[in-house]
Homo-oligomer: A and B are copies of this chain.
Amino acid sequence: MQRIEHRASFGGWQDVYRHSSQVLACEMTFAVYLPPQAATRRLPVLYWLSGLTCTEQNFITKAGAQRYAAEHGLILVAPDTSPRGAQVADAEGHDLGQGAGFYLNATQPPWAAHYRMYDYVLDELPALIEASFPATDARGLSGHSMGGHGALVIALRNPGRYRSVSAFSPIVAPTQVPWGQKAFAAYLGQDRAAWTAWDATELVKTATPSLPLLIDQGDGDEFLHSQLRPQLFEAAAAQAGYPIRLRMQPGYDHSYYFIASFIGEHLAHHARALNG
């Protein structure tokens, strides 16, 4: 593991590391924000999953989350959004292949060899973080768009593994929208029975309510009605008796200006669960 960026930020350090991932069979980068409190004690970790086309850089340069992490004493970890490299399968377009891992384990060629972001985010990365940094095993999970999908799916599939979950503008029902249908057909194959295990709206129907769940969605989001459709998740959660907070935020779009405006409230949401 090699540190490739190291920058003072809000009294702590915004670092970026490169390491060799066993699960993904490639070199990966991830970002770690260590707040000032990390100099003297172990802290909970909030994992952030980014959206289509992103790397670890988008969140750390644009969200402004470090201020709140320093206030609450949270470590922030932001992985890349897919396996990377010349030997890793890729596709034209922004919504499949590198930069578009969808936080699942692919079963189909040519994707299955590297595209195992679910295992990476759930197991390999936290093990590395908890062994290498002053981190406790108290974990929160959040993300944006494709990363919001990842956060909801990973948290719902693993009760007890996270203490809190949140999402901005998540793809809540990938099996019902074009982004998800394209990616799932490629990564998982044409049999739709295999898709439901990666769809938050399907998962919440049988989930045991176990963690605070906050979703923010801008009502000016250009993808709201085509790709995101949060009401599908809201309705399924209500029917299943799984309490969620879905907040429609007037005027906000799909950008990091939206994330920056509410990331403070999301970190407070996670801090209540992680520091409580």
* Interface of chain A: mostly helix, strand, loop or mixed: mixed
Is there a chain B Cβ closer than 8 Å to A81's Cβ? no
Q: Mark A45-75, 1 if CB is under 8 A from B, else 0.
A: 0000000000000000110101100000000
- Does A83 lie at the interface of the complex (its beta carbon under 8 Å from any beta carbon of B)? no
A261, B8: Cβ atoms closer than 8 Å? yes
Q: Does A111 contact B (CB under 8 A)?
A: no
Q: A21: CB under 8 A from chain B?
A: no
Nearest 6 CB-CB pairings of A with B = A64-B64, A8-B251, A9-B257, A8-B252, A7-B257, A10-B261
With A9-B261, A10-B260, A61-B62 known, 15 other A-B pairs at CB within 8 A are A7-B255, A7-B257, A8-B249, A8-B250, A8-B251, A8-B252, A8-B258, A8-B261, A9-B257, A9-B258, A11-B261, A64-B64, A64-B67, A67-B260, A67-B264
Shortest Cβ distance from residue A144 to the other chain B in the assembled complex, whole angstroms: 15
Other-chain residue from B7, B249, B250, B251 in contact with A253 (beta carbon distance below 8 A)? B7
In the bound complex, what is the Cα–Cα distance between A62 and B261 (angstroms)? 13
Question: How far, in whole Å, are A62 and B66 apart by their CA atoms in the complex?
Answer: 12
Interface centre among A7, A11, A218, A256 (most CB of B within 10 A): A7
Report copies per complex: 2
CB of A159 closer than 8 Å to a CB of B: no
- The verdict on A166 contacting chain B, using a C-beta distance below 8 Å, is no
Report if A220 contacts B (CB, 8 A): yes
Q: Provide 29 A-B residue pairs closer than 8 Å at the C-beta atoms, listed in order of the A residue.
A: A7-B253, A7-B255, A7-B257, A7-B258, A8-B218, A8-B220, A8-B249, A8-B250, A8-B251, A8-B252, A8-B253, A8-B257, A8-B258, A8-B261, A9-B257, A9-B260, A9-B261, A10-B261, A11-B261, A14-B257, A61-B61, A61-B62, A61-B256, A62-B62, A64-B64, A64-B67, A66-B257, A66-B261, A67-B260
Total interface residues on A, CB under 8 Å, equals: 25
Shortest Cβ distance from A218 into chain B, in angstroms? 7
156-196 of chain A: CB within 8 A of chain B = none
Give A169 Cβ to nearest chain B Cβ, in Å. 13
**Which residues, 181 to 235 on A, are CB-close (under 8 Å) to B?**
218, 220
- Whether A260 pairs with B8 at a CB distance below 8 angstroms is no
Q: How far is the CB of A12 from chain B (nearest CB, A)?
A: 9
| Complexed CA–CA distance, A256 and B9 (Å) | 9
Most chain B beta-carbon neighbours within 10 Å: one of A255, A256, A257: A257
